[in-house]
Amino acid sequence: MTDAGHYEDILGDSLEFLGGKRVVDDDPITYGPLVLSVAPKAISLLADHLFSPSIFLAERIERGLLECEGKTVVELGAGAALPSLLLSTLPNPPSLLVVTDHPDEVIFDNLNSSVMRNEGAVDPKCRVVAIGYDWGTNPSTLLSWNSRTWLPADDQKGYEVMILSDLLHFDTCHDLLVTSITTLLKRSPSSRAHVSAGVYTKPQVCDSFVEKAKKAGLDIEEIHTDLSEPWLGKLPVGGLDATDLALRKANCRYWVARWSAP
């Protein structure tokens, strides 16, 4: 069995125990105004699941805890792209939102379909782009979007916000993830990378990522949330009630990374 296949079995078995009901079907996923889908099985990269960390970030976005108004945002390994697309529907959205995933045809086609399907829910002040991207590879295509004439000149050297949802379990790819962060995150004191993971990702795996991020010049802090806190999102989520959503939220970890002070 491949490493990815092994992770898939572990994470799939963990969903009902750690995160309540599964959201792993061919049926559309609804979150507020969004109608999303997960990719059919293509290659074993877990793009055919919607895991709890995406829902965790979505609740924080609903609560206004990710400061993205007017900023440029990129999500790596977006899958169904719930956090990114939810940002695009806010009354004060990012100016540019780039959603990326592995360029496998099935995975990317699903991502692109989700973007097109939800165009009507996107605030007109936000431009949404879907791009196939392998972590750690040449970022020129992604960065080229920051050179568009409709963006302010000071937004042309990287993204002000990055989203990494449930990517840390791929421990053999940590170096690639850190490389992607350091090449795509704008070198500004206000830039942030938001990283979420499920508790099914082993603590030593998360610790390894954190150490690599620090060695790369990032100040990364874990934000500890109240595990007894109820679900505070207001938008309806298809197939999950408040109890299910609170359980999913309680079984996630969350870090915020920024550039270390010189």
Partnered with residue 164 across adjacent β-strands are 76, 195
Res 22: pLDDT: 47
- Confidence class for position 147, pLDDT limits 50, 70, 90: low
- Confidence class for position 12, pLDDT limits 50, 70, 90: very low
95-117: pLDDT as tens digits: 999 999 988 888 899 899 999 99
Of residues 11 and 174, more confidently modeled: 174
Res 240: pLDDT: 87
Write the CB contacts of 236 (distance below 8 Å, at least 6 apart in sequence): 30, 31, 32
Query: Range with the lowest mean pLDDT among 43-57, 74-88, 208-222?
Result: 43-57
Write the CB contacts of 23 (distance below 8 Å, at least 6 apart in sequence): 29, 38, 49, 50, 239, 240
What is the pLDDT averaged over residues 206-212?
98
- Domains (range + CATH), the chain: 22-259 (3.40.50.150)
State the chain's mean pLDDT as an integer: 84
Query: Range with the lowest mean pLDDT among 127-136, 138-147, 208-217, 244-253?
Result: 138-147
Res 106: pLDDT: 85
Of residues 184 and 153, more confidently modeled: 184
Length of the chain, in residues: 262
Question: Tokens 């431009």 appear where?
Answer: 127
| Two structure tokens written together for 198 | 């499920």
Q: Render 121-178 in DSSP notation, one character per residue.
A: GS-TT-EEEEEE--TTS--HHHHHGGG-TTS-GGGSSSBSEEEEES-TT-GGGHHHHH
Return the amino acid letter for 89. Answer: T
What is the Cβ-side half-sphere exposure of residue 6, based on CA atoms within 13 angstroms?
7
> Please, are residues 72 and 58 in contact by the beta-carbon 8 Å criterion?
no
Write the CB contacts of 26 (distance below 8 Å, at least 6 apart in sequence): 37, 40
In the predicted structure, residue 258 carries a pLDDT above the cut 50: yes
Res 260: pLDDT: 95
Write the CB contacts of 228 (distance below 8 Å, at least 6 apart in sequence): 250
Res 157: pLDDT: 79
In the predicted structure, residue 196 carries a pLDDT above the cut 90: yes
53-98: pLDDT as tens digits: 999 999 999 999 999 999 999 999 998 899 999 999 999 999 999 9
In the predicted structure, residue 159 carries a pLDDT above the cut 90: yes
Percentage, residues of the chain above pLDDT 70? 81
d(CA 239, CA 226): 24
In the predicted structure, residue 10 carries a pLDDT above the cut 80: no
CB burial of 14-32 (b: ≥16 within 10 Å; e: otherwise) equals bbeebbbeebbeeeebebb
In the predicted structure, residue 218 carries a pLDDT above the cut 90: yes
Res 227: pLDDT: 86
Q: What is the DSSP letter of 196?
A: E
